[in-house]
């Protein structure tokens, strides 16, 4: 899928994306690209992200090098419990913080 290739290239270097969910303004959120999905943590020590299980969202990605608009992609949010390896990757991606979260969403791209 072409969108996955574009996202893979951009999101390996990006730590944040804009997410627009139904009924909410776009919000800049920290995210982690892993296994062709975008992982977002919410609540706890992390900002609350207006997501719900099964929500259709728009993810806006900016170029890591120029910060210009790169792509808007449609995704479905899935509330999930990450396996140990993914949970560790999410913690590591937050660099010097010790994140605790209330929810983890895996965003699967549909376009």
Q: Per-domain residue ranges for the chain?
A: 2-109
Q: What is the mean pLDDT of residues 83-108?
A: 86
The confidence score (pLDDT) of residue 40 equals 93
Q: Please name the residue that has the structure tokens 């929500």.
A: 55
**What does the alpha-carbon distance between residue 14 and residue 33 come to, in Å, rounded to a whole number?**
9
The confidence score (pLDDT) of residue 11 equals 79
The confidence score (pLDDT) of residue 74 equals 93
pTM: 0.86
Residue of 93, 107, 100, 97 lying closest to 15 (CA atoms): 93
How many residues comprise the chain?
Answer: 111
CATH superfamily for 2-109 is: Electron Transport, Fmn-binding Protein; Chain A (2.30.110.10)
Backbone angles phi, psi at 109, to 5 degrees: -85, 140
Backbone angles phi, psi at 89, to 5 degrees: -65, -40
Q: What is the mean pLDDT of residues 45-55?
A: 91
């Amino acid at each position: 899928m072409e969108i996955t290739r574009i996202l893979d290239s951009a999101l390996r270097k990006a730590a944040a994306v804009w997410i627009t969910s139904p009924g909410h303004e776009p919000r800049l959120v920290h995210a982690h690209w892993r296994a062709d999905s975008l992982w977002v943590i919410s609540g706890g020590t992390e900002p609350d992200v207006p997501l719900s299980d099964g929500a259709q969202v728009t993810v806006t990605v900016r170029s890591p090098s120029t910060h210009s608009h790169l792509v808007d992609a449609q995704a479905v949010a899935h509330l999930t419990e990450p396996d140990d390896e993914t949970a560790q990757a999410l913690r590591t991606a937050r660099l010097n913080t010790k994140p605790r979260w209330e929810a983890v969403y895996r965003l699967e791209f549909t376009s």
